[in-house]
């Protein structure tokens, strides 16, 4: 059964339970995409998507890459015209690390000058 929960801060959480499944799919959809970019900003949403995987407050780029892969999961992102989407897939017993990594990428990105120059 699909359920919508709205937190006090406006965040909307959509959940769906499939009791026989042990896999977890987490997704965070951010209203940021190419449609919002002016000519001088073209590509900025996609650039930022890449930058978020370069490191965060609690994880290095290598730790981000290995965090879910080491437990058989995956971490990915994509940017479209209207949305940037960040996803994690893991077995249910590893949901804590998936939530920690995904939230740290978005809430505490490192955005180091060196990484910005290399990504350009």
Q: Which of 37, 41, 49, 119 is catalytic?
A: 49
Tell me, yes or no, if 96 is annotated catalytic: no
Residue whose pair of structure tokens reads 């930022």 in the numeric block? 48
- As to burial, measured by CB atoms within 10 angstroms (0-12 exposed, 13-18 middle, 19+ buried), residue 105 is buried
DSSP 56: B
Beta bridge partners of 2: 16
**Which are the catalytic amino acids?**
49
């Amino acid at each position: 059964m699909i359920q919508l929960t709205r937190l006090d801060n406006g965040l909307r959480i959509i959940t769906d339970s499939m009791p026989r499944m042990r896999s977890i799919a987490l997704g965070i959809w951010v209203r940021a995409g190419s449609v919002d970019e002016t000519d001088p900003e073209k590509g900025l949403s996609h650039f930022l998507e890449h930058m978020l995987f370069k490191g965060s407050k609690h994880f290095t780029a290598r730790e981000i890459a290995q965090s879910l892969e080491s437990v058989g999961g995956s971490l990915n992102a994509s940017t479209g015209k209207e949305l940037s989407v960040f996803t994690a897939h893991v077995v249910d017993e590893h949901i804590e690390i998936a939530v920690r990594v995904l939230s740290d990428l978005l809430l505490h990105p490192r955005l180091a000058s060196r990484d910005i120059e290399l990504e350009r």
